[in-house]
Amino acid sequence: MKFSNKNTKIWSKFYQKLTQKRKKANIYYSKGKIFASASGVNCEYYLRYLFDGTEKKSDFYWWGHEAQIGNAIHDEIQSDFRHSYKDKVKIETYQAFKIGDITINAKIDLIKDDRVIEFKTVKDEEGREPREKDYMQLQFYMGVTGLNSGTLSYFKRSNGVHINSFDVQFDEKVFRDIVEKFERVLENKELREDKSECQYCDFKYCCPKFGG
């Protein structure tokens, strides 16, 4: 799959403008609803906090500008596809998946030729290999749509340049593992922690596993 990099200069300017206005932001999720990006989360304590709608408190200046840059790059790529393929692609398809009382919302970037395509904006040094959490998110999307093929496409957050794309085949076992992980958390089984992410975790202020 080919991507044009014609907008590099625009992204660079946009990025600089946003990084000058970095802001800390606390994030709230509604209880009972989460995004499918949580499919790749390995810490079940973290999932419990998401499911409960606990306030996220970030120590890092990442939400304000990085999320906006990511959204802007997504908009531009999607608009290119909309323009080139018109009604042959589905852009931002929403699917909801229920597990008990929880709704997992999937917002799928693009579906083209029965392939689920997920765009990721990453740091310049990333995107050479598929990240595990992105792989799991894509597997979840393929599972809920019933499609067998997917692609992970990485773009530099700093300038919107396409880095790499990876084709992925649906793996029923990975999808079942993700659903079972959600079920374990909902059923309040003994939760499994993953402290490797604690340093950057938005819930460490309240998580007993981290000493909160």
Judged by CB under 6 A, the chain residues 168 through 197 that form the site for ligand SF4 are: 193, 195, 197
Judged by CB under 6 A, the chain residues 135 through 164 that form the site for ligand SF4 are: none
Listed in order, strand segments (DSSP E) in the chain are 26-27, 33-35, 56-57, 89-99, 102-112, 115-122, 149-156, 162-169
The encoded tokens of residue 113 equal 């030729």
For position 29 contacting ligand SF4 by CB under 6 A, the verdict is no
**Cα dihedral: 27, 193, 131, 53 (round 10):** -20
For position 116 contacting ligand SF4 by CB under 6 A, the verdict is no
CA distance 109 to 1: 15
CB 56 within 8 A of CB 27: yes
Question: Judged by CB under 6 A, how many residues of this single chain contact ligand SF4?
Answer: 14
Residue 188 CB, nearest approach to ligand SF4 (Å): 15
- Helices and strands (H, E) in the chain, number of each type: 5, 8
The encoded tokens of residue 80 equal 């290119």
For position 40 contacting ligand SF4 by CB under 6 A, the verdict is no
Residue 136 CB, nearest approach to ligand SF4 (Å): 16
Stretch that binds ligand SF4, among 42-50, 58-66, 134-142, 169-177 (CB under 6 A): 42-50
The only residue of 11, 15, 45, 119 in contact with ligand SF4, by rule CB under 6 A = 45
Residues at the interface with ligand SF4 (CB under 6 A): 43, 45-46, 49, 193, 195, 197-198, 201, 203-204, 207, 209-210
